[in-house]
């Protein structure tokens, strides 16, 4: 009795997700609480986890881990000569300093980055992308974008714009205030 392929505007199709089920369960178990915030923020967290998994798959074709991609592309984006301080890498990747030291060590061992002393601050260090590191970053980026386009395909151009704008409202305070 199911009719498939019924023609109607994409925007009216509404498929349930785990968060719908989660919210319904809370409303049943804790009708005294207003759980509306979860509609947005639980979806953000869960989607991020799904994206992590998808990325891990996509990058494995290029022999990169997601954390390696994050560091290499931060340097790549900086433009020639492709170097940043560990501190600048921290704000871009949102990890702790101990983690970043460790990441740089491992990438250096693989020959994808190198450490240079900062000429203007003897406490500091500059991390520079090697030519091979740059190539790897460029290849993996192309693969990632293809995958992400597929994930976003069910939204229209203007919906993607709306979504980006709404998310910016939430990320901006974290990114600007020290947070």
Partner DNA sequence: ATCGAGTATCTTGACATCGAGATATAAACG
Partner DNA sequence: CGTTTATATCTCGATGTCAAGATACTCGAT
Can you tell me which of 3, 5, 28, 122 binds a second copy, judged by CB under 8 A?
28
The DSSP element (H or E) to which 125 belongs, if any, is strand 125-129
Cβ 126 to DNA shortest distance, Å = 7
CB-count exposure of residue 129 (10 Å: 0-12, 13-18, 19+):
buried
As given in the structure block, the two tokens for residue 151 are 């994930």
As given in the structure block, the two tokens for residue 83 are 């170097």
Q: Which option in DNA, a second copy, none does residue 108 bind, with CB closer than 5 to 8 A by kind?
A: none
Q: Which option in a second copy, DNA, none does residue 86 bind, with CB closer than 5 to 8 A by kind?
A: DNA
| CA pair distance 89, 83, nearest whole angstrom | 10
> Are the C-beta atoms of residues 19 and 39 closer than 8 Å to each other?
yes
Cβ 111 to DNA shortest distance, Å = 15
Q: Which chain residues interact with a second copy by CB under 8 A?
A: 14-20, 22, 25-26, 28-30, 33-41, 43-53, 76-79, 91-92, 94, 138, 141-142, 145, 148-149, 151-152, 154-155, 159-176, 179
């Amino acid at each position: 009795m199911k009719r498939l392929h019924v023609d109607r505007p994409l925007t009216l199709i509404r498929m349930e997700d785990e968060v719908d089920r989660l919210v319904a369960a809370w409303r049943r178990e804790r009708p005294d609480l207003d759980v509306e915030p979860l509609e947005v923020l639980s979806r953000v967290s869960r989607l991020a986890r799904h994206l992590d998994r998808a990325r891990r798959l996509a990058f494995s074709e290029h022999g990169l881990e997601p954390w390696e991609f994050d560091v290499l592309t931060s340097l790549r984006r900086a433009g020639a000569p492709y170097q940043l301080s560990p501190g600048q890498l921290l704000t871009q990747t949102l990890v702790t300093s101990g983690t970043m030291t460790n990441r740089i060590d491992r990438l250096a061992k693989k020959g994808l980055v190198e450490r240079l002393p900062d000429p203007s601050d003897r406490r500091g260090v500059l991390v520079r992308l090697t030519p091979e590191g740059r190539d790897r970053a460029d290849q993996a980026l192309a693969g990632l974008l293809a995958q992400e386009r597929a994930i976003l395909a069910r939204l229209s151009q203007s919906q993607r714009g709306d979504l980006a704008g709404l998310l910016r409202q939430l990320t901006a305070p974290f990114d600007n205030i020290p947070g």
